[in-house]
Structure 1
């Protein structure tokens, strides 16, 4: 099949969507499919990524709230690119404007919406959840729900990577929902990468001895990631045991987070590690991964920790919670620093090293493309 991904939030400068796209471009052709990514960018370009894989950018304006990204300003250039590609199957990988554009594209190809974002959890529930119930918040944001309900009827699949989001979508009346879990980069993450010398160096960076507990935090420095809450929880848990936190991330909240760290020598913020092998060694060498965001649709960092034999400390809702199952870590009450501190304390005391199998991206794309193939070879029934 020729699969075209209309990827509104692809950025060559990083992020979870970019990681997903890179794996799709690599694995898709290996499974016998041609993969084309159509993304907004500064210029109209075609970037060849090997046999059966390329990125097509459509000249578009920068996204005003985050200049690392662009957005499709109008339907016509996007539709022209889709018509030129003549895909067998089309994906929209953002629930915002591009979902509506792909839903309304007049082409005959079947299509899916991949929920790479959970906007209500990332924003509305986080902003107003201390005051209003989720039912009330959903009612106040009924325009977004109606947007999803309306367009979902024109998609053959609305794909979520975790069961919690799929359940909420179904309860909200979103049609054609299904769960297809993602996975980790095959052959990259393993407990065998654990490096005692690297662990000691990272603890030394935190001004702590090897006997201390090393926590790792990975992700964008954005409000929905709740890094200040994580920092507060680490500070509280440090009253019971010496704990160092190494954070790998960048983003618009860097100044706010550094101010929150307030010079604590046991908490260090570093740029993301772009070398995948080095990053895999860091992940396996930590005593636990701590993550604060309850709005993850999958949580790649927690999946990579699980694959590395590193326990996770994650919120009890959203995609991150799935990776603590089966003894792989601890969950805490979402958004609650005190609950997070208790979970950190428990892991710091016991220091478990779970040996659990992690799902790979090969398996994810095989399942996803099998669902697409069944749709292409069947009769499209979506109105």
Structure 2
């Protein structure tokens, strides 16, 4: 199968998009597919990379962020697609990438990639607390109408989770299909747990080992609702001893610092020294707390589960797909009071189960001693329900092959 991806946010200075597309190039090649990425670049040129091909299209820089460029030349994108004659074309965004693919008159199968939810990121983040989610979505009718019309030009809409698939189906988006992302499940593992590291972090906060260590990881952006996390933690920490490590940086970092400094036992890490450090920190904490209700998947939540962490997540967004009562507590998105209650309930139930285990002979997974039943439930869920990167792309390429066969029959 020849697969073309019009990826307007692919850049050598990028983060998650670059990583994902590089994996697609490499694993697509290994599976016997020809993968070509059409991306905005400084000049027009073709480059072989990771077993596939990058077709760079000369594009102007994006003014707010010069790391990125604006994919602006629709005629050139269409010319390249006619030249390539792919079996399937992905439009990897709702903006120029999706519009250019949707308007291309070629015969290839087309899929729209829905890896960002613009209604959740902006209108719901800023206005749902005051007017409610239903009203925000009614007021966002022009946005949903645009997305719905765009989706009609595609054969399927690819989402990264079931919660989002259902949301799009309710809005009349054409053929939404959930193919969840995968993560490196050997890298993020409960085997990375380091009791000494946990003790050191608690000591830095003036706490002993009997206190609880909470962790949250996210970009500092309004959609991540870090204020909700900090307020919820502050309220919960008045009831029992706990500390919070908040990992991340971003456009509202200075605001986060000003707010966090007023709350006892909060420590900020702008960036870990390495992925290994983050993996150790995840496995060595007691509870993972998440705020974002706009993410389409919840990558860091999946990594936390693979590390054996019980989770507290909002009732909206991709993370809710992971919320089994065996290891997860769910609170209304943006409600710091209910978040505080969920944190306390999670820690209390964890403590109760640990006490029962002590009385019942410490039954745990063979290689995960000293973990609570909730931690072991998280590990069991991660082992069976969270995909690896390889499994994700295997599912994606299999579905694409079926679409191509469908179109040819």
Moved more, 54-63 or 237-246: 54-63
Counterpart residue number, 2:5: 5
Deviation of the 1:75 alpha carbon: 1.0
Closer/same/farther in 2, CA of residues 220 and 41 from structure 1, 3 Å limit: farther
Deviation of the 1:104 alpha carbon: 0.7
Closer/same/farther in 2, CA of residues 134 and 211 from structure 1, 3 Å limit: closer
Moved more, 328-337 or 240-249: 240-249
Moved more, 118-127 or 40-49: 40-49
Deviation of the 1:44 alpha carbon: 4.3
| Residues 14-72 of structure 1, C-alpha deviations (whole Å, 9 max, x = no match) | 5443443343234322322233333334444555433x234444333333444543331
Q: Which runs of 5+ in 1 are unaligned?
A: none
Q: TM-score if structure 1 supplies the norm length?
A: 0.90
Counterpart residue number, 1:35: 35
Q: Distance in 2 between matches of 1:220 and 1:254?
A: 9
Counterpart residue number, 1:241: 240
Is 2:159–2:179's contact at 8 Å kept on the other side of the alignment? Answer: yes
Is 1:153–1:176's contact at 8 Å kept on the other side of the alignment? Answer: no
Counterpart residue number, 1:24: 24
Alignment of 1:160 with 2:159, yes or no, is yes
Alignment of 1:316 with 2:324, yes or no, is no
| Residues 247-290 of structure 1, C-alpha deviations (whole Å, 9 max, x = no match) | 22121111111111125452222233373333322221221221
Moved more, 309-318 or 78-87: 78-87
Closer/same/farther in 2, CA of residues 380 and 334 from structure 1, 3 Å limit: farther
Q: Distance in 1 between matches of 2:135 and 2:35?
A: 41
Counterpart residue number, 1:372: 400
3-state DSSP class of the match of 1:355? Answer: helix
Is 1:306–1:328's contact at 8 Å kept on the other side of the alignment? Answer: no
Moved more, 222-231 or 156-165: 156-165
Q: Distance in 2 between matches of 1:107 and 1:296?
A: 32
3-state DSSP class of the match of 1:130? Answer: helix
**Structure 1 residue corresponding to 2:379, chosen from 339, 351, 355:** 355
Moved more, 76-85 or 186-195: 76-85
Counterpart residue number, 2:127: 128
Q: Distance in 2 between matches of 1:164 and 1:193?
A: 30
Deviation of the 1:12 alpha carbon: 4.1
> Considering only CA atoms, is the larger Rg found in Structure 1 or Structure 2?
2
Closer/same/farther in 2, CA of residues 265 and 105 from structure 1, 3 Å limit: same
| Residues 146-205 of structure 1, C-alpha deviations (whole Å, 9 max, x = no match) | 221112122111011222222221121211211222221243222112122222233344
Number of paired residues? 380
Pairing of 1:233-272 with structure 2 (within 5 A): 233-262=232-261, 264=263, 266-272=265-271
Q: Distance in 2 between matches of 1:84 and 1:272?
A: 43
| Residues 205-244 of structure 1, C-alpha deviations (whole Å, 9 max, x = no match) | 4443333222221121111001111111111111122222
Q: Distance in 2 between matches of 1:310 and 1:26?
A: 31
Q: TM-score if structure 2 supplies the norm length?
A: 0.85
3-state DSSP class of the match of 1:10? Answer: coil
Deviation of the 1:97 alpha carbon: 3.0
Q: Distance in 1 between matches of 2:65 and 2:205?
A: 31
3-state DSSP class of the match of 1:250? Answer: coil
Moved more, 209-218 or 117-126: 209-218
Is 1:36–1:56's contact at 8 Å kept on the other side of the alignment? Answer: yes
Moved more, 240-249 or 285-294: 240-249
Is 1:23–1:185's contact at 8 Å kept on the other side of the alignment? Answer: no
Pairing of 1:217-232 with structure 2 (within 5 A): 217-232=216-231
Counterpart residue number, 1:49: 49
Q: Distance in 2 between matches of 1:43 and 1:199?
A: 49
Q: Which runs of 5+ in 2 are unaligned?
A: 352-373
Is 2:59–2:73's contact at 8 Å kept on the other side of the alignment? Answer: no
Is 1:11–1:18's contact at 8 Å kept on the other side of the alignment? Answer: yes
Pairing of 1:98-137 with structure 2 (within 5 A): 98-137=97-136
Closer/same/farther in 2, CA of residues 69 and 339 from structure 1, 3 Å limit: farther
3-state DSSP class of the match of 1:149? Answer: helix
Deviation of the 1:316 alpha carbon: 0.8
Moved more, 288-297 or 277-286: 277-286
Is 2:290–2:313's contact at 8 Å kept on the other side of the alignment? Answer: yes
